[in-house]
Amino acid sequence: MKLIDSIVAGAPDIAAIRRDLHAHPELCFEEARTADVVAAKLTEWGIPIHRGLGTTGVVGVVRSGTSGRAIGLRADMDALPMQEHNTFAHTSRHPGKMHACGHDGHTAMLLAAARHLAQHRNFDGTVVLIFQPAEEGGGGAREMIKEGLFTQFPMDAVFGLHNWPGLAHGEFAVSAGPVMASSNEFKITVRGKGGHAAMPNNALDPVPVACQMVQGFQTIISRNMKPIDAGVISVTMVHAGEATNVIPNSCELQGTVRTFTFELLDMIETRMREMAQHTAQAFGLECDFDFRRNYPPTINTASEAEFARQVMASIVGPARVLPQEPTMGAEDFAYMLMHKPGCYIFLGNGDGSHRALGHGAGPCMLHNPSYDFNDDLIPLGATYWVQLAQAWLKPAVSA
């Protein structure tokens, strides 16, 4: 593994920042303290900053040479609304808030890269350091773009990464094309007529009708979708009734739909709407159907994915750069890839053996209350960021 010596030497200081951020998690669009820490460090290292895009976003700009080329590097900063089960020294100080997805580590790795880039500036062009709020459901990337991220800070391509538990430390994964799914929500209210449960003939029971919808939706996956495509319909909430002897007036279904393409998403939404409405009508009931599209699919452009793969291979060797298995999880970096070429890669977080004494029970998986970022990744992730930027902005060789 070919790590940058100065980044390795400075990793303990960056790890201390990471653990401080872990101890003080902030939810989407509330990352004021986190943004203050990031802004203070960038300023300390002589990096001009811009604050306020997406409410709490921070953008740093490192320039060198005369080239007009620019590359964007993005890290997310927000935490999750969940209770941490760890008891080590840097556990969350805020009940109900936790860095359970490693965004504290993502921020730390980009900070380590920023310090090195500012100190050495051995590239020709501009590196835009994007510290983004509100990835966990808030669409912070979308909001930063709306407020002028790509117009105020022009860039040729943008890159992101995520730590990946289960992938060994020292391994990367990257692929062209869709690597994370779109995230969408639905809410269906089946409206009937309540009555006494012992006299169902006097009522219009919404519960069996809703159950038929739940079963029917799965035929969209098995019978309407091409077998070689990938899609998920999960009904995750069913709400109806208040007493065992009362047929309720309504039954509410909620859940999520995940796809890798907009074409499949269009088909699923259309079929779900038709199936819900027609099923209700067949039993003499009515239904309200609401479908909300959240994050689009994350789709890596081919040339940028290959460029990133070559940089990774130069650091850890080709055998440790794996194909990226697509996941039905979602990521709002997708919005950036809808506007700019680029790619989103996975960096192995290991099997959880890095966790210190005091971690909670259970695996070290993302969104798990006993998760903790692996600080050994800081030199590797920062080295990747630096070498990616240097390779992208490599000075032209004169004839």
pLDDT at position 399 is 44
C-beta separation of 365 from 329 below 8 A: no
| Rounded Cα–Cα distance for residues 311 and 317 (Å) | 9
- Residue bearing tokens 């509410």: 252
pLDDT at position 36 is 98
pLDDT at position 143 is 98
CATH of 184-293, one of 1.10.3720.10, 3.30.70.360, 3.40.50.1820, 3.40.50.920: 3.30.70.360
Number of residues that make up the chain: 399
Q: Looking at residues 54-68, what average pLDDT do you find? A: 97
Provide CB contacts within 8 A for 211, sequence distance 6+: none
235-to-185, 268, 275, 308, 388 alpha-carbon distances in Å: 10, 14, 14, 37, 41
Q: Which two tokens stand for residue 308?
A: 């990133």
pLDDT at position 174 is 98
Percentage with pLDDT > 90 across the chain: 95
| Rounded Cα–Cα distance for residues 302 and 13 (Å) | 36
| Rounded Cα–Cα distance for residues 389 and 57 (Å) | 21
| Rounded Cα–Cα distance for residues 370 and 353 (Å) | 12
384-to-235, 315, 331, 390, 392 alpha-carbon distances in Å: 40, 7, 20, 10, 12
C-beta separation of 78 from 102 below 8 A: no
Angle at alpha carbon of residue 66, lines to 62 and 69, rounded to 5°: 65
C-beta separation of 87 from 358 below 8 A: yes
64 DSSP β-pair partners: 125
| Rounded Cα–Cα distance for residues 15 and 35 (Å) | 17
Q: Which two tokens stand for residue 182?
A: 């779109």
| Rounded Cα–Cα distance for residues 380 and 163 (Å) | 11
Would you kindly state where each structural domain of the chain is located, as residue ranges? 5-181+296-392, 184-293
- 111 has pLDDT over 50: yes
Q: Where are the alpha helices (DSSP H) in 61-139?
A: 103-120
Q: Looking at residues 367-372, what average pLDDT do you find? A: 96
- Residue bearing tokens 């919404």: 206
Antiparallel, parallel or unpaired: β 184-191 and 286-293: antiparallel
Q: Looking at residues 31-47, what average pLDDT do you find? A: 98
User: How do residues 164-182 score in pLDDT, each as one tens digit?
Assistant: 999 999 999 999 999 999 9
User: How do residues 276-293 score in pLDDT, each as one tens digit?
Assistant: 999 999 999 999 999 999
| Rounded Cα–Cα distance for residues 102 and 126 (Å) | 27
| Rounded Cα–Cα distance for residues 127 and 385 (Å) | 10
Q: Looking at residues 260-277, what average pLDDT do you find? A: 98
pLDDT at position 144 is 98
Angle at alpha carbon of residue 250, lines to 244 and 251, rounded to 5°: 80
pLDDT at position 198 is 97
Q: Which two tokens stand for residue 395?
A: 């000075």
C-beta separation of 293 from 305 below 8 A: no
- Residue bearing tokens 């966790």: 355
Mean model confidence pLDDT for the chain: 96
**Domain 5-181+296-392 fold:** Aminopeptidase (3.40.630)
pLDDT at position 351 is 85
User: How do residues 298-313 score in pLDDT, each as one tens digit?
Assistant: 999 999 999 999 999 9
- 268 has pLDDT over 70: yes
| Rounded Cα–Cα distance for residues 75 and 332 (Å) | 11
